[in-house]
Copies of this chain bind each other. A is one copy, B any other.
Amino acid sequence: MSEHQYPASLTHGLSREEILNRLHNRLDEPRYEHCLRVEATAIELAKRFDQDVDRAGLAGLLHDYGKEIPVETYKRVIIEDGFDPDLLQYGRGVWHGVVGVHFIQTEVGITDKQVLTAIARHTTGDPEMTKLDEIIFVGDFIEPARSLPVEAKARKAAETNLEEASRIELENTLTYLIDARKLVFPKTLLTYNAFLTKE
């Protein structure tokens, strides 16, 4: 587990302990521990691919902050805060990224755009994903407690190639949703298409 300290400029002076407290208040124990593992994985990936370790760790730590916020709260925020009303068709699986950043801003006070964007994009992807976005997207999928064959395959790919790991994850997400006859967020398909020619 990482005990990475974050620069005050990124947390508006909040200590790591205070961030952990606020995250823990929002999440049950297993999900809180998942977040700590994604933080450590994101830091590792950031070092491996020469990206900003502070932003990667912080985004990894907070990526699931909104996962247990009540559905009714999300619906209210989507309507009142000017989010795309199409989002109402989806559920917390999508919302905790795109809309979850709203709560991270208002309740944890993080305002760094790169951190918030990486969190926003971790559930849906985006055709314009940055390396930092990819690190959170992939870090969530390959953290050490994930043990499915497709996760192991992505973990192996991520040793050298973040785009390939992202592609494996995108394909898995899309085929899972289609096999289960669930709605696919259109931007996730556009992300898949964009990754076919990436790198």
Interface of A is mostly: helix
Kindly state whether residue A121 has any CB partner on chain B within 8 Å.
no
Q: How far is the CB of A58 from chain B (nearest CB, A)?
A: 32
Q: How far is the CB of A129 from chain B (nearest CB, A)?
A: 17
Q: How far is the CB of A52 from chain B (nearest CB, A)?
A: 30
Contact B171 A181 (CB under 8 A): yes
| 8 Å CB contact of A192 from B184, B192, B193, B196 | B184
Contact B178 A174 (CB under 8 A): yes
Contact A192 B178 (CB under 8 A): yes
Please indicate the chain B residues that have their CB under 8 angstroms from the CB of A167 in the complex: 181
Please indicate the chain B residues that have their CB under 8 angstroms from the CB of A184 in the complex: 189, 192-193
Kindly state whether residue A1 has any CB partner on chain B within 8 Å.
no
Kindly state whether residue A186 has any CB partner on chain B within 8 Å.
yes
Kindly state whether residue A145 has any CB partner on chain B within 8 Å.
no
Kindly state whether residue A80 has any CB partner on chain B within 8 Å.
no
| 8 Å CB contact of A178 from B171, B181, B182 | B171
Kindly state whether residue A179 has any CB partner on chain B within 8 Å.
yes
Q: How far is the CB of A119 from chain B (nearest CB, A)?
A: 24
Q: Which A residues form the contact surface with B (CB < 8 A)?
A: 167, 171, 174-175, 178-179, 181-184, 186, 189-190, 192-193, 196
Q: 21 A-B pairs, CB-CB below 8 angstroms?
A: A167-B181, A171-B178, A171-B179, A171-B181, A174-B178, A175-B178, A175-B179, A178-B178, A178-B192, A181-B196, A182-B196, A183-B193, A183-B196, A184-B189, A184-B192, A184-B193, A186-B186, A186-B189, A186-B190, A186-B193, A189-B189
